[in-house]
């Protein structure tokens, strides 16, 4: 696994693993269910991904959107490919909603709604709650 994947907590944050991608629960929950979709390939530019990696990304995105819709009922979803600090190809996946989502008694507001996600603002979760969010998402994966 590359440094970017490890930085986002792999294997502890793993939601799903594919041949070319991993889906990780983002350590900072900007909104409930915030994820990282990271390529396992040695690529620091999007065009460097293999044809197989590009093809498999479609399956990962379908699974992400279905699972997050079941968990959060999001209204929009943002895929942010920033790669300024972490150079390996990856996306921050941020489900967006107008009203705060609730999980385990915690409210997860979308501070940036209806504009760009406010990445610096997030709902702090303890280790147990974070693990429970990941488990709930893994249970929804098919």
Measure Cα distances from 73 to 4, 78, 96 in Å.
28, 14, 9
Nearest C-alpha neighbor of 36 from the set 73, 91, 74: 91
Domain boundaries, the chain: 3-136
**SS3 category, 16:** strand
Tens of each residue's pLDDT in the chain, 142 residues? 999 999 999 999 999 999 999 999 999 999 999 999 999 999 999 999 999 999 999 999 999 999 999 999 999 999 999 999 999 999 999 999 999 999 999 999 999 999 999 999 999 999 999 999 999 999 998 7
130 CB-near residues (< 8 Å, 6+ apart): 25, 27, 29
Length of the chain: 142
**106/59 Cα distance (integer angstroms):** 31
Quote the pLDDT of residue 142. Answer: 73
Q: In the 8-state DSSP scheme, what is residue 87? A: -
3-136 has CATH 3.40.50.1820 classification:
no
Per-residue pLDDT, 40? 98
pTM over 0.85, yes/no: yes
pLDDT of residue 51: 98
- Give CA–CA dist 45/33, Å, rounded: 26
């Amino acid at each position: 696994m590359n440094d970017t994947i490890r930085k986002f907590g792999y294997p502890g944050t793993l939601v799903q693993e594919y041949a070319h991608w991993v889906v990780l629960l983002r350590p900072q929950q900007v909104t409930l269910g915030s994820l990282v979709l990271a390529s396992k390939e040695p690529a620091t530019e999007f065009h460097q991904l293999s044809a197989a990696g590009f093809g498999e990304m479609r399956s990962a995105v379908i699974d992400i959107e279905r699972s997050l819709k079941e968990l959060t009922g999001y209204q929009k979803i943002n895929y942010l490919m920033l790669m300024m600090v972490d150079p390996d190809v990856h996306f921050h996946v941020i489900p967006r909603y107008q009203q705060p989502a609730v999980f385990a008694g915690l409210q997860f507001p979308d501070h940036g709604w209806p504009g760009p996600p406010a990445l610096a603002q997030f709902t702090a979760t303890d280790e147990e709650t974070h693990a429970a969010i990941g488990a709930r998402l893994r249970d929804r994966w098919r």
